[in-house]
Amino acid sequence: MAKKDTQPQTSSKKKTAFGIFLEELTRGSLLVPILAIVTGLLLGGLIVALTTEQVYTTWSESPLEAIGIGVNAALRSYGALFNGSIGNPERIIDALSSGEEAAIRRAFNPFLESLTKSVPYIFAGLAVALGFRAGLFNIGAEGQLFIGAITSVYVGFALTGLPAIIHLPLALGAGALGGALWGFIPGWLKAKTGGHEVINTIMMNYIAFRLSEYLLRGPLQRPGSTNPISPFIEASAQLPRFFDSPIRFHLGFFIALAAAYGVYWLLFKTRIGFELRTVGANPKAARYAGMNIVWVTVLAMSLSGALAGMAGANEVLGLNYNLAPAFSSGYGFDSIALALIGKSHPLGVVLAALLFGTLRNGALQMQIAANVPVDIISVMQALILAFIAAPAIIRTIYRLRTPEDDDDQLHVRGWGG
Amino acid sequence: MPPVLELRNITKRFPGVLANDRIDLTLNRGEIHALLGENGAGKSTLMNILYGLYQPDEGEIFINGEQARINSPTDAIHAGVGMVHQHFMLIPVFTVTENVMLGSESIKVGGVLDRKTAAERIREISSAYGLAVNPDDYVRDLPVGGQQRVEIIKLLYREADILILDEPTAVLTPQEADELFKIMHSLTERGKSIIFITHKLREVLDIADRITVIRRGQVVGSTTPKQADQNKLASMMVGREVDLKLEKKAAKPGAVVLEVENLKIADDRNQIAVDGISFQVHAGEVLGVAGVQGNGQTELVEAVTGLRNALEGHIHLLGEDTTQASPRHITELGTAHIPEDRQRDGLVLNFPVADNLVLNTYYKQPYSQGLIMQHELIAETAKTRVENFDIRTPSVETSAGSLSGGNQQKVIVARELSRPLKLVVASQPTRGLDVGSIEYIHGRLVASRDEGAAVLLVSSELDEIMQLSDRIAVMYRGKIVDVLPAKGASKEQIGLLMAGLSGQKTLKNPAKRGKSRKDA
């Protein structure tokens, strides 16, 4: 075989995060996610066209015109999506030339708001990705996110008189700790009893949801309010914003990027990460190599929970300043999808999270400007996910070769594994 | 009369690899044609093309002089080609009849299975070819040799004329292998033709009518057993002179390193797999554990290396009781473990070679400083190991899974034998490897012994046990039947012990036993 003939080379390239990412890109394993996104967008456009009523009313008279209307509708909604998530180019130029500060802020707001919306996605995506790397399927990010939000909001309003430099880290840390606890429990159950983490994290989700409802109607309810809502947090616990209203862009975005780097560093530079990845890739070999699988499993679930908790903490400390039941729009569940799209690599997760944040942000504008329901975005996300989960579909559509060592499979063991 | 099978100019390319390069092969009626080659030489690819699992990029297949289109195994079966895979494709909870019928069921009116007719045909086939099988037995109750016979009956039931046997003796005792050879002869006497894939040179010389050697996807030569000997075949396979006889000095046994006392171990199904065995391994000697696979060797090795708990008994390593010790502690005492299943236990296939080379030392100085792994140092060390142990890999960053089996095993050997060692536990260390790699790994094991390590070698390859061991323990159904010095032990004697016949009987009437087998 040709492989055997090649003599060992001497290349001592230092691997960087970007290097690994590029490597995966050129090896073709990132081609599938990218094509999945493109295909999802195209099909989303088709759905917009098909749900435009005018297309059907015109069809009997002139099918060609009907198709034109459909294409037009799709283009208009994607135009609105772009304006709503990146920014309207005309408005940006106008605002810049007028030099009016408020106008400039408004013109750039869509883009910054997309970044803001991607913060919880980054954290929760990292949480799921870290679990994947250790061979664990953490379905419980949503519950961990709720608990993280509860603990951080509590520290945020209950502690008073502290300077921000102490209060904010405390509140964030409380969020991470709460999430970590919620991840630790299923992790410990898995390691000690073999109880499958998928089942247990789902159960923990329900407990978290009901617990938050109870707390918001009981101990944590805002005094004097009849609604299930917590008191406002102290200003010292708020994540600072960088611009005046309406721009909500806050420090959380940079903390999220730092967390992504931290996860990358942990996974690929430390011996704990080595253990985590080994247990995830081949638990038998990990045992053979003398690794403590119980410890690694518990640690991975706890860290995963902490990251998900940070997602919740960022929402309450950065945007809402209080906790209400509907504060999460399912970030924890969407994060499973985006960890898959991002190939469980921190950089991939950040990129996928930016995509999700952008789509979510643009969707609102799409609804207002093009009268297309927000749900179209959910359908598109579902399509993208379906294509990524079943790469064979994408490979068939684009006639791609099946890779020899199929890296596209989940980093997760099956049931009972 | 045209040959029953002719492959002309078969070429098959995989990305980056030319697996088959213009291969010609003819098979005459009633012939046993041995296909010999190292792992990765292209034997399996060629046979998978013949069996319809791959399509050749170029070339033609002729069956009985007519060009055949084989696009699927179904086509192959219709064309009279049948294959017995190395791993049997049987359903244990079905009877022999049900297994044979599977896929070509005889059906009565209303879709009811006609077991009776099928069983009748199986009886006919088994008496015609001397394949002793009872159609009503459950497959799970059959010994491995019996299961193999069921596989052969499956082919005959589907009226195959060309039988491909892929490494058929790998799972058999020497006696069962002899039985198989008899069956192969009775098949060819009745006009069947056989392609026999193997890497065991002795068997080829014993049974084949013609031999074709494949190396790196090309036919390097055809010969007959009369014209060839083992050394000639080995050098044809490898492409250089090979030393088949391992030169080793007499052992200088020292103090006891490993002592096993009255050890009882359960397997995964909670059945007793090791049933009260005791033995010692001394520094500077190789204790070979012979036995057909599945007689408790796997569980014994797992217990010694800390991967499985014993029910009863004790394991002492260098005087310390390690019966309950963790794998890491046992490793740190100076134990190397070459595991039975390299891909399952010994390697993380999608990790780079460099990471696999530190799989159980990654946490130590100098590979880790505190929390941080020293990737550059690990890569540098890996480069040295790759050179010292002759691991053929494009780079140390290549994933272990993309190496050939022999090189994967060398990665494990390099990792395990590069530490100061007191005990080497090697389980099936050369399974499925090519001649060159076997030669190399054997040399390394003997070198460890000569440096004073105790070596516990577990292998179902009798040749390997006989070549490397200083003493041989034979395991059968969880017990050690006998321990005998390797010097003066004969293959027949150990073969009989492996089949569970106690040492005493064997020594008393070996001739008689051999005779009665023939009579049966």
DSSP classification of residue B367: T
A326 in reach of chain B (CB within 8 A) = no
At residue A5, does pLDDT exceed 90?
A: no
Q: Nearest-CA distance from A325 to chain B in Å?
A: 40
Query: Which residue in chain A has the smallest CA separation from B362?
Result: A271
Chain A interface disruption, residue of B17, B214, B348, most A CBs within 10 A: B348
Mean pLDDT of A276-284: 95
For position A26, what pLDDT does the model report?
A: 54
User: Where are the alpha helices (H) located in B307-359, listed in sequence order?
Assistant: 327-332, 353-356
pLDDT band at B403 (very low <50, low <70, confident <90, very high): confident
Q: Scanning every residue of chain A, which has its alpha carbon at the shortest distance from the alpha carbon of B367?
A: A271
Task: State which amino acid sits at residue B79.
Answer: A
- Alpha-carbon distance A5 to nearest alpha carbon in chain B (angstroms): 7
Using a CB-CB distance cutoff of 8 angstroms, which residues of chain A are in contact with residue B394? 3, 6, 8-9
The domain segmentation of chain B, as residue ranges, is: 5-238, 245-334+421-520, 344-419
Q: Give me B479's structure tokens.
A: 């017990």
Partners of residue A13 in chain B, C-beta under 8 Å: 397
Per-residue pLDDT of B235-252, as tens digits, reads: 888 887 776 677 788 888
Across A211-225, B27-41, B272-286, least confident range: B27-41
For chain A, give the mean pLDDT. Answer: 87
Residues of A in contact with B373 (CB under 8 A): 269-271, 274
Identify whether A222 is part of a domain.
yes
User: B7, exposed or middle or buried, with CB in 10 Å at 0-12, 13-18, 19+?
Assistant: buried
For residue A12, the model assigns a pLDDT of 39
Examine the pLDDT at A20 and tell me if it is beyond 70: no
Q: What share of chain B is helix, strand, coil (3-state, %, to 5)?
A: 35, 25, 40
Check residue A11 and give its pLDDT. 39
C-beta atoms of B383 and A407 within 8 A = no
Range of the domain at A303: 119-354
pLDDT band of residue B502 (cuts 50, 70, 90) is low
Q: What is the mean pLDDT of residues B294-309?
A: 94
User: What distances in angstroms separate CA B405 from CA A50, B412, B432, B498, one per listed residue?
Assistant: 54, 11, 7, 28
Comparing B349 with A7, the larger pLDDT belongs to B349
Domain assignment present for residue A25? The answer is no
How far apart, in whole angstroms, are the C-alpha atoms of residue B9 and residue B11? 6
pTM over 0.90: no
3-state DSSP assignment of residue B173: coil
Q: Which residue of B has its CA nearest to A6?
A: B394
B5-238 CATH fold:
Rossmann fold (3.40.50)
| Per-residue pLDDT tens digits for A383-412 | 887 887 777 787 788 877 665 444 434 444
Q: B293 or B347: which carries more pLDDT confidence? A: B347
What is the least distance, in Å, from the CA of A316 to any CA of chain B?
Answer: 33
Q: Which of B347, B372, B373 sits opposite A285 (nearest CB)?
A: B347
Contacts of A406 in chain B (CB under 8 A): none
Task: Answer whether residue A244 shows pLDDT above 70.
Answer: yes
Averaged confidence pLDDT in chain B: 88
Residues 377 through 416 of chain A touching chain B, CB cutoff 8 Å: 401, 404-405, 407
The reply to whether residue B307 touches residue A288, judged by beta carbons under 8 angstroms, is: yes
Q: What is the pLDDT of residues A103-147, one digit of tens each?
A: 898 899 999 999 999 999 999 999 999 999 999 999 999 999 999
User: What is the CB-side half-sphere exposure of residue B80 using CA atoms within 13 A?
Assistant: 16
Instruction: Classify residue A287: in a domain, yes or no.
Output: yes
The pLDDT of residue A28? 56
The CATH number of the domain covering residues in B245-334+421-520 = 3.40.50.300
- Mutation target among A16, A23, A288, A404 for the B interface, most CBs of B within 10 A: A288
For residue A167, being part of any structural domain is answered with yes
Residue contact B395–A8, C-beta within 8 A = yes
Q: Give the rounded distance of the alpha carbon of B299 from its chain centre.
A: 18
pLDDT, position B517: 37
With beta carbons under 8 A apart, name residues in chain B contacting A277.
Answer: 351
A21/A27 Cα distance (integer angstroms): 10
Q: Work out the percent of chain B whose per-residue pLDDT is above 70.
A: 94
pLDDT at A287 over 90: yes
Residue B449 reports pLDDT greater than 90: yes
Query: Are A269 and B326 within 8 A, CB to CB?
Result: no
Q: Do B399 and A405 touch (CB under 8 A)?
A: yes
Residues B421 and B428: their CA atoms lie apart, in Å, by 19
Q: How many domains does chain A have?
A: 1
Rounded to the nearest angstrom, the minimum Cα separation between B231 and chain A is 23
Q: Do B395 and A9 touch (CB under 8 A)?
A: yes
Does B245-334+421-520 match B5-238 at the fold level?
yes
| pLDDT attached to residue B508 | 40
Residues 6 or more apart whose Cβ sits within 8 Å of residue B270: none
pLDDT in tens, A21-59: 666 555 556 777 888 888 888 898 899 888 888 888 888
Strand runs labelled E in B283-377: 286-290, 312-317, 320-321, 335-338, 368-369, 372-373
Residues on chain A touching B395 (C-beta within 8 angstroms)? 8-9, 11
Tell me phi and psi for residue B90, to 5 degrees.
-120, 155
Evaluate whether B338 touches B421 at the Cβ level (below 8 Å). Answer: no
Q: Is the ipTM of this complex over 0.85?
A: no
CB–CB contact B393 A6 (8 Å):
yes
Distance CA B178, CA B498 (A): 14
A8·B375 Cβ contact <8 A: no
